[in-house]
Amino acid sequence: METKKYLGVDPGDARCGVAISDDLAMLAHPLETIDVRKGDPVARIAEIVNERSVVGVVVGVPRNMDGSFGPAAEKSRVFIEALKGKVSCRVIAWDERLTTVSAQRALRESGRKAKDQKNIIDQAAAQIILQGWLDSQAACG
């Protein structure tokens, strides 16, 4: 059976959260947080794509509640273009409205203390981004 692993990415100014799907592209799992100040997140994501035979990268693009794009969305678009230059797989832009809020809520409900959330919040947001995209693909058949 052919594996179809995807990455989910929540790009940010300080940290970049990364999640990965299972081999069947059904479930997303947190993978790692890249400290943007210590290294190039695009280069690290390209490494992960090669190491794990990833077939697509889903990058969160924040939209305003009215659907318009703001400055953060422009940063995501620049990130996506840089990533397209480094990987040979598909790079997909995905609406990430309220994913960080959802991730914070989920971590809080799981009993994580606020001070412990900082290290994993970006991974959790990337997981939500990726799971949303995976679910949309499953719904399309």
Kindly state the tokens that stand for 71.
């400055």
Answer left, alpha or beta for residue 58, where phi above 0 means left and psi between -120 and 50 means alpha.
beta
Say if residue 58's pLDDT is above 90.
Answer: yes
Tokens 């290290």 found at = 119
Q: What is the pLDDT of residue 64?
A: 74
Cβ atoms of 87 and 45 closer than 8 Å: yes
Q: What is the pLDDT of residue 97?
A: 66
* Residue with more model confidence, 123 or 139: 123
- Measured CA to CA, the distance from residue 7 to residue 19 in angstroms comes to 6
Position 21: which residue type?
S
Determine, yes or no, domain membership for 9.
Answer: yes
Residue 1 pLDDT class (50, 70, 90 cuts): low
DSSP string for 34-74? EETTTS-HHHHHHHHHHHTTEEEEEEEE-B-TTS-B-HHHH
Say if residue 103's pLDDT is above 70.
Answer: no
Q: What is the pLDDT of residue 90?
A: 97
Cβ atoms of 120 and 107 closer than 8 Å: yes
Look at the chain and report how many structural domains it folds into: 1
Of the listed ranges 22-26, 47-51, 107-111, the least confidently predicted one is 107-111
Determine, yes or no, domain membership for 141.
Answer: no
In the chain the first and final C-alpha atoms are separated, in Å, by 18
Determine, yes or no, domain membership for 70.
Answer: yes
Determine, yes or no, domain membership for 138.
Answer: no
Determine, yes or no, domain membership for 139.
Answer: no
Determine, yes or no, domain membership for 123.
Answer: yes
Determine, yes or no, domain membership for 27.
Answer: yes
Determine, yes or no, domain membership for 109.
Answer: yes
Say if residue 31's pLDDT is above 90.
Answer: yes
Residue 139 pLDDT class (50, 70, 90 cuts): confident
Q: What is the pLDDT of residue 98?
A: 59
Q: What is the pLDDT of residue 105?
A: 72
Average pLDDT over residues 69-95: 93
The H-assigned helical ranges of the chain are: 41-51, 71-84, 99-109, 114-117, 121-140
Cβ atoms of 117 and 81 closer than 8 Å: no
CATH at residue 16: 3.30.420.140
Domain extent at residue 74: 5-133
